[in-house]
Structure 1
């Protein structure tokens, strides 16, 4: 089975998915393309695999072949694997920001209390059994 991230990267590369991204997103996508091109140039047939997928983005077989080539290159080169994951994360985050009107809520790690992730809040937010009036000092 093909790694889902590799398939997503291959699909984005084949379809040139930078359209609709912010300037930072396009820069991240450009860096991803450059890194992939330079690494695949070192693999037998790697450049041809990338160019075939780019020439025929609707051909699922070619996109899967590109994903497999990326997986092989990542297995051989841990630095490339880390770079690919970092660059893909930046592209993906830029796409999420573009799709959600510039707002992205993220939380990672452990949280010792409550977490609220929101864009616009009208009124108050209350945790626990108390009422909203209690939290505003109305008692």
Structure 2
């Protein structure tokens, strides 16, 4: 089983999540594609998996791409870090449209509630 983050990136790279991505997600996807293509210049297995997923977009090829990315990330920590940074907006957009909740907070806050649904009140003391 691959990392859900890599599954969502592979799905987006295969063109199966275009409607889920807003402007930020599409820009992030372009950066992810460029990062993987640069890596693929010296990695024929990754290049083949990416091209197969982009051409077909069927689930077995998407899974194969996610598995290849998982393997590459395990072998190359720097690439994994770049991929996670560049792909965060893509993953968040896809996760949110699949019924998930994506809560982000940047900076300091005094009171913060992150929830999908709240029944009743909230009190801060």
TM-score by length of 2: 0.70
1:49–1:62 contact (8 Å) kept in structure 2: yes
2:9–2:91 contact (8 Å) kept in structure 1: no
CA deviation vs aligned residue, 1:95-129 (integer Å, no higher than 9, x gap): 578x6xxxx753489x8x753469xxxxxx76269
- In 1, Cα distance between equivalents of 2:20 and 2:89: 15
The RMSD of aligned alpha carbons is: 3.3
Matched, 1:115 2:120: no
- In 1, Cα distance between equivalents of 2:78 and 2:34: 15
- In 1, Cα distance between equivalents of 2:20 and 2:3: 25
Per-residue deviation, 1:16: 5.3
Structure with the larger helix share: 2
Matched, 1:7 2:7: yes
- In 2, Cα distance between equivalents of 1:128 and 1:38: 49
CA deviation vs aligned residue, 1:69-120 (integer Å, no higher than 9, x gap): 11121112111101111122122345578x6xxxx753489x8x753469xx
- In 2, Cα distance between equivalents of 1:22 and 1:128: 34
- In 2, Cα distance between equivalents of 1:12 and 1:126: 37
Task: Give runs of aligned pairs for residues 2-81 of structure 1, distance below 5 A.
Answer: 2-15=2-15, 17-19=17-19, 21-58=21-58, 60-81=59-80
Q: Which has the larger radius of gyration?
A: 1
